[in-house]
Structure 1
């Protein structure tokens, strides 16, 4: 569910609150270590000697610098994860999110290491040149990674854009048409330049990149101009003649069409499919006049047949054939010939 800008800012503040507090504490500890180096070393030298005092001082400086760099890395990754969550909501950018997330973590780790070395280089002179070299290498790495991401994504973006133009210009599918895609019937809701938005019969939205959609095999059995019939089978007892069934089916379909501003059924066929023991099996084939989910039309037809024939759809009628006699069926229990 989309959030407002204010809610997203509050969420980001809650997630980085502890990290910012740790970073602030580390920086506050670094300030007296830098400003009062001589006083700290001389005070410690009174008790443990100058050499050990300098070692203790640089240990404290190193641990505090590493703490500051760790919280810098944590803050960068937290903010980046929030950004990746926002980008993943956009179907056109969702495929690039894992790669962008990995790149951001690498850059955050390199930034944290650089911060630690820079803080130490203020007091350790030989690290200064190392930090300068790392900063130059980091900028080159960032430029290379950004160029790589753009090269990979431009291919997808341009491909989806061109595929969208082909779909729109060729009339391959139109908005509002129904397709059978990967074994499921879907309605084409919107054709954008980046992706095609589909809706299944449960109302769930499916966003397919245009390039993938263009290369996918799909069928249009119930779309505009198609000749596919929706098939529905039912059975009635022998007491109903086929002519009577045809007449009543015709009447109920005419009533069904009159309930709408435009007819829903273009044509139909009623076939005698099979003769069972106690009933005749019919197949009603209905051709919709407009694109429709076949399950929806079948549901309407079942309801019409149920209202028209009622329990006769399920209850067989026992047939007494002419010439049938008790002798043909054998003696009843307790009787002898």
Structure 2
């Protein structure tokens, strides 16, 4: 259990935004927002600037809310769940650099770094066994047996492929559109093609090439996926199958982890706008999960619950769930 009045900060940072929350017990005293903080995507300087901005906003809001009752803590635990810090030695070095920046700005801060997936998992299951499947721009899953096994699948990134992700679906749709419009595949321009091109601001199929050369922006990704969803809802077979296939692939992430964890009953939660907010994807996910229950003779129980990664990161920073032994990626003799 968390000490009721112990102040701590939890940060959730990714490729599009950063949120920081200051907690006392389970009460959120302050909230800060800023731009992206994946250091491998935007660089350490930009990531650090956005982290400091979000943390400062959370502290300022808490001070204003508490008024004369506010007491500046001499030591403030801060858990940061960031995309990018789990990427081998480069990610570890980025976490160490960010820790130095944060300590320079906030001398009383005790930053500890985890992946965004770990923070979301902790905020969902609070040390209990389960599987969290992420289906957003990227895809990955984390499973815990409640004792010693903490296993991960996926999270390969765009270049190696994040199967079942929103990016992977939009990429495959763009590949099909280009190949059909140029005669590499039969059928000519697909009927759903013009709507997708319009959603991405393209006048011609070949306008897709520079978009994917630099990677679609979060807004382009959202608009492209929405165009595919609308086409599928209107009866277009190909977009519908792309979305349903993504749901099946994401459920296979859970199935792979469930088999390795060896639990007879597995609670499964999901996160990420693509999986959680696209009905066709989520329905396919749940149907495939039921199939894994029958095939593996294992009960998969789907939890309709939204993760709170800031709560998870804050709890990890104060050791709220000892069974979840996660490494602080900023640990270094120099810190």
Higher RCO, 1 vs 2 (CA within 8 Å, ≥6 residues apart): 2
**TM-score normalised per structure 2:** 0.18
Query: Which entry has the higher C-alpha Rg, 1 or 2?
Result: 1
Whichever structure has more helix as a proportion of its residues is 1
**TM-score normalised per structure 1:** 0.18
